[in-house]
Structure formats: C-alpha cells, structure tokens
Structure 1
Amino acid sequence: MATTVRRTVLTLPAAPVGPPNPLPALRPLDEMHSIDERAKQELPREMARQIGYEPLRTLLPVRVLDGYGRERTETPLDAIVIENERLRVTVLPGLGGRIHSLHHKPTGRELLYRNPVFQPADFALNGAWYSGGIEWNIGATGHTTLSCAPLHAALVPAPDGGEMVRLWEWERLRDLPFQVDLWLPADSDFLHVGVRIRNPHERPAPVYWWSNIAVEEHETTRVLAPAEEAWQFGYERSLRRVPVPEFRGADRTYPLRSEYPADYFYEVPAEARKWIASLDADGHGLVQTSTDVLRGRKLFLWGSGRGGRRWQEWLTEPGTGGYAEIQAGLARTQLEHIRLDGGGEFSWLESYGPLAADPTAVHGDDWGAARAEAEARLADALPRAAVDAAYEAWRTCADAEPGERLATGSGWGALEVLRGGHKLPGTPFDEATLDEEQEPWRELLETGVFPEPRKVNPPGPSLVAPHWRDMLETAPAEPLTEYHLGIAQWHAGDLAQAVRSWERGLQLAPSRWPLLRCLAVADQEGGNAQRPAERYAEAFDDLCQERRDDGETWTSATAALGREAIDALLAVHRTADARAVWDRLGPSVRQRGRFRLIDARLLIAEGRPEQARAVFDAGFEVADLREGAEILGEVWSQLTDEPLPDAYDYRMRPQG
C-alpha cells in the first residue's frame, strides 16, 4: 500500500478554548520548572549557563488563554490522516499540529496515549493545554503557546517520491519560524519527523525544543533510555543528579512506583544512540529515536499519589487509564535554552514506531541488560545508520515549496515576512493569511502611524520586538500608540520608560482602563501595595462605564480585570471595595469555578467563614487551575483543620 494523506474530521467531547485574555501578559504565568541561583552553582557549567540564558520576562506578544470551562460537547475537529500498510497517523493541525494517534495496523495497537476528550487545562506557557499524543514544544521552558493554536499545513514531496505533510508556523515568543515534516515511507513501521528551526534575524536567539510523547501507563509499564544517571526535577523546585533506575528505594523507571510527580532528565552519553522507549509487561510499546542533535531524553511521571491521580482525572474523564510522558529535547534538561546565531538553523530527524523486546530482559533486575535488549531490538527494527540516512534524504526536501494546503495557521508570520523581507524556502507565510489582528500593525509598517480604533473595544494584541518598538517610538504619540509602546518597552526591560509612556497616554486617553491596569502592574512590580489597589479600582470602574455589551470580548475583559482588581484590593485589606468589584461582575462570570473560589476568599476576609465553607461544600471546579498551584489547599486551611477533600487535592509535592 502506497502512503496516502487525506483530510477528515475527528469528533470528540470538547470544551471550547474560549477567547484570549485581552490584558497584555506583562508577567509570565508561574512556571514550575525553575530553580534558584544558589542551586545553579552546583550544576555543570554548561547546564547552569543555559539555564540562565534569557528566561522569559513576559509572555509578550502572546496572549493568555484562560477562557475555557469544563463543559464538553461533541465537537468536530479537523484532522489529517497519513497512512501506509503498517501505520495510521492522525494529526490535529488546528491544535498545535498534535499527533493524536499512532496506530500500528499489524498488531492493532495504539502506540500513544490517545485522550478520548479535548479538555484544556492551565499547563501551557500561556494557559490552555491538553494532554495526549505527541506535541511539539518550542519557545521557552514549558508547554508551547501553540498548544491550542492552528498551524499551517500542506503536502510536500517526500524523499521516496511520495507525499509528506509539512506543518509550520512563526513562534512568537522567540520570533522564529519552524517546520515539522511528517514522512511515512511506504511499508514502514516508523514515522519520520524532520524538524527545522531557523533564525532569520541578525541577532542570536535562545531556542527551546522538546517533543512530548504521551504513552499509556500501567503497573508494569517501564521506560528505558541509554543512561545510568538522570537529573531529577521535583515540584519542590529542586534539580539533582540521581542514579538510574533505583532512587530512594524505588525503581523510578516504572512511573507508578513514585508517589509524587517528577521529571527525570536522562544523562545520555554523547556517543550513545539517542532513544527512549515505553514497554509493557509483554515487552511491547513505543520507541522514539533521533539523530544526535536532539540529545536530551526525559520521563515525566504523575506518580501514584492523590494529587497526581487527581490531575490525571482532570485532564480526561473518570475511568480513563493514566499516562506518562517520554520526551526528547535539544538540551539535557527543560530548564535550558540553546543559543542559535543569527542566520543559523537547527535541524534533526526523529523516528517513532513499535518496539517488541524480550520481557524477561526488559523487566529484569539488570538495568544494563534491560536497556541493551531494548537497544538491540531497536537496531533490528531501525538501525542507527538508517535514521542518519533518512535525515540526509529529508534534508533534500526541506526547502520544497508546499503544494496543496491542508490547514491555515496565523497571519503573524506573514506580517514578519512583510516587514523583514525574509526568504524562507519551504515555509511560505502568505499575505493572504493577514487578518484584522495584524491590520493595524501593517498600517503602522506602511504609513508610520498606528491607527485609532474604529469602534470602542478592548485594545488588540501588542507587538514587542525591537523593530516594532522602533516604529512605535517614531509614530505620532496618540494614546493607543503610547499604550502599545509602553508594553514593548516593558518587555525590553525598560520599566521606567514604559511607565512614562503609559502616563503620557493616560492624559488624553478616551479609554483609561487599559493604561491604568498597566500602571497598576508596574506599581506592583515596584513593591508598592496601596497604589496598585487604587489604580485597579479606578480601572475597573472605567471599564464598567465603557463596556458596550455582554458579548465575549467585553465579558472576557471584565472577568480578567475584575480578578486582578480583587486580588490587589484584598492584598491591602480593602475588602468592601473588593466585594464591590465582585458585585459588578456578570452572573455568568460569578458562577465560574475561579470566581467561586474568589467568593470564598472574600467571605473569609469579611469574617464569614461558615459561608466560605459552604462554597466548598457545594462544590466547584477551577477550570484554569495552574499546574502546581496550591491555592485550594491554602484557602481550605483557613477554614478547617480537616484533610483537604480529594476533589480539591492537586498537590504535586510533599507537604512541608
């Protein structure tokens, strides 16, 4: 059977992602993968340097996605199916190009953990993320901001004369274009994935990449990699070198033998073949291997404790089996970023397919023998030289121009190509993809003037790269221009100048609340407590007077600003003012789980603990609960000494 590619529709119970948060992300969301400066001093020099290399100051220019809920309905999702006689690959181009399924036809086995639902949760750098399949993480430490975003997709010629699927986009945190080519040769058991990241700028850029593979876990699931040591990261934010497989009395290569969630970044020798596998009791499962540029390998496990089990249920539906993640990345750990010089590129090839090994050896007490058996079977199925040859063959097609378009991504890449005149063979960013979000920036580029909005609405997204900041600085100093300029200056670390721009804009702004909110954040970063509360209260009042309807855009702005305002007012014990903000939120907003929790906090501050306890007893779900957040336990502990109920227990580390 020749390899075929077809479009189809996959229907899943799905919760809508919802609108983006209109407030600019002046601070990153809390990212669990961080360690303090003292801990870095004990790490190898290269690792410490790369951990300290340009961590995110903000999420700009990306917007936060926090408008989803927990109500799922049957929803059609566009999908691409790549199929030969051996494998059937299902790809979701509208959701980050995720490989949803990798089905091995001769054995009837699903090689991945295939989530039966689409349920966003707050795990991505910008919020919404979902579990399952194979995802392509680019940008910075954490799950990519493209987790729930569309990618461009098209057919391109494959090295063997057939067709392959190209996915591509412009990654906006680091301002870099990338492509992922999915090549399934005829009669092959292995899907080849060619990846290229390019830096079209003169300046160097920090690069991050981890391919994240969800695999089913059972009591007998074992993860194997060519390593005798690993860097263990626990959610108490520690990074330590540990032996593999046994650490603190348990074999950590069996994901369910740990109690708490943890990462194990394997110390793979430089000369060793790069691979990782997850095998069941019978020695069957998935193996991933690559060319040597993709040096890192990792196991993430949820563990068997209450918090990890609760998160597993949260990300799918009750009664569904759990999963672990095996991953492959450019660095040894996910805390690191790699320098890519201006005009340079990184490229490599990954291969995914089934592996069958002797279960006696794989699950034996001799770790060296276990991994030697897995590596020998991998060599039989796909020799290392064959992967290197496939990479060289793929490189001849990496610049091939896409043919039939299968899906459309964003217009941000087209805007950057229009501005910079970048030549990017193989990944065209067509002007036809520009939409209303890019239009004011195109006008700035062509006329030197940032246009005033045609109707009263929350401001659109900001751009913050140096070239856009330069254009804003020379544009006429209208209030909206000053707003966007201040955001770009803030992102660049020029906080004082950002404040000056926002204050100038405030003097003549017909819409004051966006500028007041930015100034409130600046006050908070400066350590002031009282003034942010004043600014937030004024901003929320201005928004309520300005908002035009109860549509999605204004509701999202009201919810986002109200939430921040209540936090700022509670921080300085202005409980009555915080309650006044709550009272002006719409009924649909107040019923959301996040705002039920806020109500409980308000009730505690008002001296009404019994009513706050009643909120918990009635039950609520905080749809956008952040990975690693402990706020539920913290609020509960203010009400009672009773154990935290299972429904609210998402703790990812030992207490104390």
Structure 2
Amino acid sequence: MVHLDTVTLPFAALGPDNPLPPLAPPRPVTPLIDASAAGPDMARNLAYGRPATLLPYTVQDGYTRELTDGKLTVAVVDNGVVRAEFMLDFGGRMRSLVHLPTGRELLHRNPILQPANLGLRNAWFAGGVEWNLGTTGHTPLTCAPVHAARVVRPDGVEVLRMWEFERNRELVYQIDAYAPEGSAVLHVHVRIINPNAHEVPVYWWSNIAVPETPDTRVLAPADAAYHLAYDGVLRRVPIPVHDGVDRSYPANGRHAADYFYDIAPPRRRWIAALDAGGSGLVQASTDRLRGRKLFLWGQAGGGRRWQEWLSPADQPYLEIQAGLARTQLEHLPMPPGAQWSWLEVYGLLAADAAKTGDWDSACTAVEDALEELVPRHLVDAEHDAARQWLDQPPVERLHNGSGWGALERLHRSATGDPSLELPGVPFDTTGDEQEPWLNLLATGDMRGPLEAPLSYQVTPGWRQRLEHAGDNWLTWLHRGVARWHAGEADAARDAWHASLAATANPWALRNLAVCDENADSAASLLLQAGEMLPTPLRALTVETLQALLAADRLRDALALVDGLPPDLRADGRIQMLECSAAIAEGSLDRAGRLIGAGIVVADLREGEDALDQLWFAYHERRDPTLPRTAHPLPRSYDFRMTES
C-alpha cells in the first residue's frame, strides 16, 4: 500500500537560497593528495569527472539553529511487514524503516531536522537513507523536493515512484520503492537515465544512517578496504583489524573515518549493521551497485560534537553506504543515451553467529541469513522483471518536485529533441524560478529588475540561447556565469564588465571580485557592491569580510561590522570573522567579548577548523608564552576531525 501522511517534528527552516552564483569548484572535506594505492581503473576514475562548479545550483545557507515544530509530508510504503516513510520535500529521503512484527526501527530516525553545512549546496541533515546523485559529496537535491506518484504494477503491487532532473549532470533519476505482499524486505529499484548525446560522469551512493551503540558491528564481504585519512592519503588497509584495532566495531574508532570495502566481483553485494544479539539492518543489491562503505564520526570530542550538532546527543549514528564505484572519490563514464538500473533491498536480518567470532565466520553467517531472508537469485529476477513496468505511467500524482525537468523538456523539444519525453517520469510542471527562462524560450530575450537572479543556466544549450539573446545587464550577467562555468574566465570577465556598462549592478561587481586575484581590489569591488544594495545581504557581507581579512584591511572589516543591522551582527559566521579581525588588529577586548559569549556558526562546514583556530589565536595573542594546554578548547568549539 502506498499513501501520503504527515509527521510532526522540530525543524529549522531552510530559509532563502543564496543568490550569488557559486563560481568556485566544489571543495572536498579531505582533498586527495596521494592516490598511489589505487590501481589503474580506480586511478582513472579518481581523475575523471570533476565538475568545474556546482552551477547551475545556488547555495542553501539561509537556515539557522532555531527549531520550531512543524508538519512534513511523507509518502508511506506499507505491506504489513515493513513500513517505510519518504520525505518528499527533502530529496525523497527514506526517513524511517520499521519491521512491523517486532516494532523495530532499522534506521537512525532523527527526531529533529537540523540543516548543517555538509552538503554540496551547504544544507544537509542527518538520518535515514539519502539518495546521492551528482558528484563527490551529499547530493544537490538532498534538501529539495522530488516528484512522487503511485504506480500499480501489472501484478497489482503498489509502487511509490520518485523522480527528478539532476541539473549539474543533466541526468534523470527514478526511485521505485515497494514491498510485495508478505515480503520481509523493502525493495528499492533505482534507474539513472542519460538523455544526452554525450558521455556523462556519474556518481551514486545510497547513504544509510543507522543507530550506533557500543556493541554495533558492521560487516561486509571483504578482507580489505580503501581508507582516506585526513592527511589526504588513500590507503588500502586490512579489514577488520587495522592498526591493531578491530574496525568492525565502530565504537573502537577514535576519529571520523571512511572505509570503502573492496568487495571481489563474485561476492554478493551487501552490508549490515548488527547489534549485540546479531540482528539489525542489512542492505543488499544487484551487482551494478558495487561499492560499500562504513562512515563513523568517532569517539573523540570533535566527532561527538558533530553528532550532537546534527542529532540529539543521546542518539548517535553511523552510516553504511552503497555506491556505483568502489570509493566516493570516483566517477564512472555513462555512455550517451544509456540507462543504468539496480535493485536494493532493506530489511531486518538476524544472524546469531555474527555477534561474536572471527570476521570470516561472521560474514558467512550474515550471507547465510541473507540468503534465507531474500535469496540472491530472486533479487536478480525481481530486477529483471522490473523492465515490464519501469516506463508505466503513474496512476496518481502525490507530490510535485522542481520545475527544472519540465523546463529542460520544453527547451529540448523546441530543437526537436524528445529525450525528456518520458511517460514513466513526466516532467510537466514549472514554477517561479523557471519564469525568466520560459521567457527566454518564448521571446529570445531576458529582462528583469536589478534584483538578484533566482537561478542560473550554464549548459551548452542554454548558453547558446543566452549568447543570442538581446543585450542588457541581466543577459550579460548570465552570459558571464555560463562562460565562467565553461572555463572561459576572460570571456566571463568581459561579460560582467559589459553588464556593468549596460546598467551598474552589484551582482556583476561581486562576480568580478570573486575572480580578481588581487585581494585588495577584490575587497574594494565587494564593498562597492554592498553599497549598492538597499539592505545588506548576508552572503555578500560574509564574502566582503573574508576579502578584507585576506587583504589585511582589518579596520575596514571592523567598520563594516559596526554598520550592520542587529540581525546580521548576531550572525555566527559574521561574529567569527569579526572576532578574527579583532584578534589580528589587536582589539582583544572586543575579541574576548565575542569568544567568551559563545560564537555559534550555523553553517560551519564539515572539516572547517575556524573555531578552534580562533580560540587558540585569541589566547596566544593575549599571552604567547603560555602553551595551548593552558586554555583547553571548550567543547562547544570542538569540531576537530583529528587531534591535530
């Protein structure tokens, strides 16, 4: 049975998107410095497919840490044995999976929804099963709506279908979740469609959050794993014992860690997180979904702090994950017009022999129990049979996602390209964000007030339309963004100068500042852009303060803060930058008031060490003769991923 429901929980609203185009390339939490452990195939995949920017997406950084009770729409799949909930306004994430006969929740069902800066577009939240399509990191669609509908298979089984158009790669993805009568496992059939006439780099990981207890054991059918340490070195390490520690028990890990299990091709693809009694969630799939991974925050202060930042402190979690490649650092080449699909199954597994004993016998026990729960040949057969109904049109629309797929369908259809005419996943609704681009399609022109653009387009097809549109400040602005994304920096600057020449505007000034290699002139451009706005914009203020600090214009930075309205002065990131400027300028009383009151940076980035560096910089400036141990880092400022 498939139906809609609502859940009530405390959540922090996402707030408005940042209107400034993200011109920099995506920044990994840990840059890959040494990949010498990779074989030839992996090395190729590691070097392949990195996007120049996250455009055409905008950044989602308008949230706070103020939680308010509210209702969220979920879609439910329930066959009387398993019950799953999917969050349709948040990437279709599976929020909950309950084994009804025992009443056991198999996932980390986060009782709050608190965005934090761990996603590609910044906003991300912990819990459930996240469907990641795009590039290394949490998908751009993790905090965005998806289309959803009810589909009825030829045999009468109801299916929850969710789909969207991923704009950075121009791919369609389709998720069909269902539970046949009597099935003890939830079935999730995933299909990726490349509607383009060119090869596309593809990245997919299903990220599964599960409860972490002192005796949780994670198992996968491998005897080695690839581990990326925070020193940027990719290492192939033995599993389960590495550096004298049994890593199959995540509670043994002191620091945050990724372990990508190296599963040999003949083995069945699965991963399980089991409790002391040998029971817990198992995820298995058909062979295309090759990779499996364990992620843990670790038991050190920084890892525990991240846990409570994302979820209640008494409900720690870890992630078991499944992906197309062996590691999350890789992309795979998807041929023109190709369709890739696989079937995942999720359920409660009980394997008494897996709770103790050596690794091999524990893995064998899980494989035996998995074969009894859902035989491998039946999963393969179920995947093959899905071809009969994957393109079947929905019988009932449950939820509307974004209008970008519909806009792209219209854009392609105008040139005789039917590649997005997909009856099983209809793209047929547009919204306010698409209006300027619909006008460009209809009139060949683009006009608008001097307000910040709500959206961008950078693909070759849209760039061609922009280059042939009428000349005005807005068209030149968008041309510059598309040119920059294409790697044509000089042509982008020319476009932004032309935008300014047509009509003075802060948005072209800001873009010119971002690509200005001179810190002082970049800061001046940003100050000029800010002066043109009727009210300060948080994102522009943050960039201006960062530029002023880089240019060592400390008094200008503090003067800018002094002139801000109270709401921006209270913003945690702005306070952090103000404190940094005050320390460097020698205004230690000012810095002390800020750091003593407690700076809370709502969008602190994963791996960002700014708060601990700020704490120690302040105390070292006050008395450089004292060691750091004289002023221990407060727990509220400890987000360190390592000891150093």
Shorter-chain TM-score range: over 0.9
Q: 1:636 to 1:155 in 2, by over 3 A?
A: same
| Structural mapping, 1:20-169, within 5 Å | 20-36=17-33, 39-158=34-153, 160-169=155-164
**Secondary structure at 1:643 match in 2:** coil
Q: What residue identity is the alignment partner of 1:290?
A: S
Segment drifting more, 420-429 vs 242-251: 420-429
1:401 matched to which residue of 2?
393
2:254 matched to which residue of 1?
259
- Could you tell me how far apart the structure 2 residues matched to 1:102 and 1:648 are? 34
**Secondary structure at 1:504 match in 2:** helix
State whether residues 478 and 505 of structure 1, in contact with CA within 8 Å, keep that contact through their aligned partners in structure 2: yes
Segment drifting more, 41-50 vs 72-81: 41-50
- Could you tell me how far apart the structure 1 residues matched to 2:4 and 2:498 are? 52
Question: 1:480-529 deviations in whole A, cap 9, x for unaligned?
Answer: 1010000000001111111111111111214x2100110011113xxx22
- Could you tell me how far apart the structure 2 residues matched to 1:340 and 1:653 are? 36
**Secondary structure at 2:390 match in 1:** coil
State whether residues 473 and 502 of structure 2, in contact with CA within 8 Å, keep that contact through their aligned partners in structure 1: yes
The structural deviation recorded for 1:203 is: 1.0
Paired-residue identity, %? 48
| Structural mapping, 1:413-428, within 5 Å | 413-421=405-413, 422=419, 423-428=421-426
Q: Paired residue for 1:539, among 491, 506, 529? A: 529
Question: 1:312-342 deviations in whole A, cap 9, x for unaligned?
Answer: 0000123x22111000000000000111111
The structural deviation recorded for 1:530 is: 2.1
| Structural mapping, 1:609-648, within 5 Å | 609-640=588-619, 641=628, 642-648=631-637
1:522 matched to which residue of 2?
515
Q: 1:160 to 1:264 in 2, by over 3 A?
A: farther
**Secondary structure at 1:150 match in 2:** coil
| Structural mapping, 1:281-320, within 5 Å | 281-318=276-313, 320=314
2:376 maps to 1:384 = yes
Question: 1:70-94 deviations in whole A, cap 9, x for unaligned?
Answer: 1101010011111112111111111
Q: CA RMSD in A?
A: 1.3
State whether residues 349 and 391 of structure 1, in contact with CA within 8 Å, keep that contact through their aligned partners in structure 2: yes
The structural deviation recorded for 1:42 is: 4.0
**Secondary structure at 1:327 match in 2:** strand
2:470 maps to 1:481 = no
**Secondary structure at 2:288 match in 1:** coil
Question: 1:117-167 deviations in whole A, cap 9, x for unaligned?
Answer: 000000000010000001100100000111111000000123542211000
Q: What residue identity is the alignment partner of 2:593?
A: A
- Could you tell me how far apart the structure 1 residues matched to 2:74 and 2:396 are? 15
Q: What residue identity is the alignment partner of 1:469?
A: R
The structural deviation recorded for 1:33 is: 4.4
- Could you tell me how far apart the structure 1 residues matched to 2:336 and 2:472 are? 34
State whether residues 30 and 231 of structure 2, in contact with CA within 8 Å, keep that contact through their aligned partners in structure 1: no
**Secondary structure at 1:438 match in 2:** helix
**Secondary structure at 1:579 match in 2:** helix
| TM-score (ref. length: structure 1) | 0.94
| Structural mapping, 1:443-482, within 5 Å | 443-450=439-446, 452-453=447-448, 455-482=449-476
Q: 1:362 to 1:533 in 2, by over 3 A?
A: same
- Could you tell me how far apart the structure 2 residues matched to 1:221 and 1:160 are? 39
1:579 matched to which residue of 2?
558
Question: 1:386-444 deviations in whole A, cap 9, x for unaligned?
Answer: 110110122211101112111110000001111113222311100xx211211111121
**Secondary structure at 2:564 match in 1:** coil
1:588 matched to which residue of 2?
567
State whether residues 235 and 628 of structure 1, in contact with CA within 8 Å, keep that contact through their aligned partners in structure 2: no
- Could you tell me how far apart the structure 2 residues matched to 1:159 and 1:48 are? 44
State whether residues 33 and 141 of structure 1, in contact with CA within 8 Å, keep that contact through their aligned partners in structure 2: no
**Secondary structure at 2:490 match in 1:** helix
2:432 maps to 1:442 = no
2:625 matched to which residue of 1?
none
2:624 matched to which residue of 1?
none
State whether residues 219 and 272 of structure 2, in contact with CA within 8 Å, keep that contact through their aligned partners in structure 1: yes
- Could you tell me how far apart the structure 2 residues matched to 1:316 and 1:42 are? 35
The structural deviation recorded for 1:170 is: 0.5
- Could you tell me how far apart the structure 2 residues matched to 1:75 and 1:195 are? 30
State whether residues 35 and 233 of structure 2, in contact with CA within 8 Å, keep that contact through their aligned partners in structure 1: no
State whether residues 94 and 129 of structure 2, in contact with CA within 8 Å, keep that contact through their aligned partners in structure 1: yes
State whether residues 184 and 347 of structure 2, in contact with CA within 8 Å, keep that contact through their aligned partners in structure 1: yes
2:509 maps to 1:509 = no
Moved over 3 A (4+): none
1:650 matched to which residue of 2?
639
1:8 matched to which residue of 2?
5
State whether residues 98 and 136 of structure 1, in contact with CA within 8 Å, keep that contact through their aligned partners in structure 2: yes
2:341 maps to 1:347 = yes
- Could you tell me how far apart the structure 2 residues matched to 1:75 and 1:397 are? 36
State whether residues 158 and 183 of structure 1, in contact with CA within 8 Å, keep that contact through their aligned partners in structure 2: no
Question: 1:447-486 deviations in whole A, cap 9, x for unaligned?
Answer: 2211x21x44212211000011111111122111010000
**Secondary structure at 1:76 match in 2:** strand
1:429 matched to which residue of 2?
427
**Secondary structure at 1:501 match in 2:** helix
State whether residues 29 and 126 of structure 1, in contact with CA within 8 Å, keep that contact through their aligned partners in structure 2: no
State whether residues 33 and 335 of structure 1, in contact with CA within 8 Å, keep that contact through their aligned partners in structure 2: no
Q: 1:159 to 1:227 in 2, by over 3 A?
A: farther
Q: What residue identity is the alignment partner of 2:31?
A: S
Q: What residue identity is the alignment partner of 1:513?
A: P
1:565 matched to which residue of 2?
544
State whether residues 79 and 179 of structure 2, in contact with CA within 8 Å, keep that contact through their aligned partners in structure 1: yes
**Secondary structure at 1:40 match in 2:** coil
| TM-score (ref. length: structure 2) | 0.96
2:623 matched to which residue of 1?
none
**Secondary structure at 2:292 match in 1:** strand
State whether residues 583 and 591 of structure 2, in contact with CA within 8 Å, keep that contact through their aligned partners in structure 1: yes
State whether residues 153 and 408 of structure 1, in contact with CA within 8 Å, keep that contact through their aligned partners in structure 2: yes
Task: Name stretches of at least 5 consecutive residues in structure 1 with no aligned partner.
Answer: 548-553
- Could you tell me how far apart the structure 2 residues matched to 1:268 and 1:488 are? 41
State whether residues 234 and 653 of structure 1, in contact with CA within 8 Å, keep that contact through their aligned partners in structure 2: no
The structural deviation recorded for 1:29 is: 4.6
Q: Paired residue for 1:205, among 200, 203, 223? A: 200
- Could you tell me how far apart the structure 1 residues matched to 2:14 and 2:114 are? 9
